[in-house]
Structure 1
């Protein structure tokens, strides 16, 4: 991910919002290369997932948070079983540079058998894949108590081999080891990244649902890279570029709401230099009410004049 690409995207995003370009803001968007961090956590800590994402942002990295990407309810509705949900979790994990476990466990002597089974599957799967690739399995532990308290919590990195994990789990939790071996032997699920205009972010819940229906692990950047601070919009630009460059499939949609945006056009152009397959989807397929109901959705003639079809989206030939 080139810093110049992020700078360009962020500048266009600011321009669309009517914000003057600020060199200091550009500096935020062009700092050292960011790592993509998968945040693993016990489901009992679900309420604090936003705090985990903000913590990753605060370290200058991009969070790959399974809740922000998959959405627990949406994932369960579509995938039915915990095994299937974990199958999609590890597809996202496979795109990350590092895995950070948010926990109160001592990183020097973690009690593996007492950890949540979802966390164990993610850590063991990562260890197996690391061993296959011939690299060390480095896992970072983050003190969730300090994160929740708003203190600086530095990740503590430890080297966790698959041999250590097998030794710790083979007696008490052999099912976890068996499932991880099974998942590691499979072709990972494809990761689908949404590409839409920012004024259409109101439909991002429908869009995540649509990508799940396409049987892909979804990353909808307006959901996945929300820093919780509108003044930190550079993270959206940075995260979106990262996601496009690491997508297996890019799910592209024409603009439905608002005036055409330079940011959207730039993302569409950049997507054509990425390795992911681009597929076109319609907002009616996604289920966006304005697209499904058309003129009947609006209550005024003014709004009906903004119905789908009245916004020009540049054809792909103009984006090359």
Structure 2
């Protein structure tokens, strides 16, 4: 086989699955809306289950739901038959996946939900299958060929099921007005957590801030710069507002007779600042763009006093790039 053949195969598979996704979008109807409504009314958790390849998709759907504000977890149907049925309780909703709708390992989960009146959403690709007949809400996947040459390997069917799970999760997110702040609460680590970090999460507060009042001799200001370790010192007016900032550049411009001056004679007035609610990613972009290493944090909606200071190294340590 040639490279061109490999590429052609890949394009054919993706095209087959893309057509199936379009068919799925067209097929969504009342059952999808009923499923979303049932999930919204759940007082407990969403229990997602499936066997084989459907089980792998079920795990991903459970993880997506859990990370977007809908408590959910995966229960393996075989383990359910050996004690894990106790993970289903009143107030929960079961989301059960099976392409054929006749997977024997699901029988105990289906029977348990019926016995204890636990609402069940069934997703399958065969109309009239046991799963769909037993479900409170039945979502029928549209007919579509699997992408493999034999037509047997779960490919198109699992892609449709995965997309359906994403559609359910996003519909729930939009109804609940799920915000980036909510998302960050479930993703505090890794690249996502770093990207969603706020300036207030990383800034230095209180005595850590290098601040001196107007009227301070430059000798004392130099001590503050050295002790605090940010390479700058902020200058506050009589009301405590940030009136200016003394940087390395300011020091170089006033080397002659520097120690005879006061901070207000050396400082840069009305310095660049950042809001505490700004994303740390935005603060890093500002620092890189203006070629500075520190930003004082001031909330214009507050009393205008400096609330903290952010150094570029704080962003880098947090993984903000």
TM-score (norm 1): 0.26
TM-score (norm 2): 0.26
If asked which structure has higher relative contact order (CA below 8 Å, sep 6+), I would say 1
Q: Which has the larger radius of gyration?
A: 2
- The structure where helix makes up a greater share of residues is 1
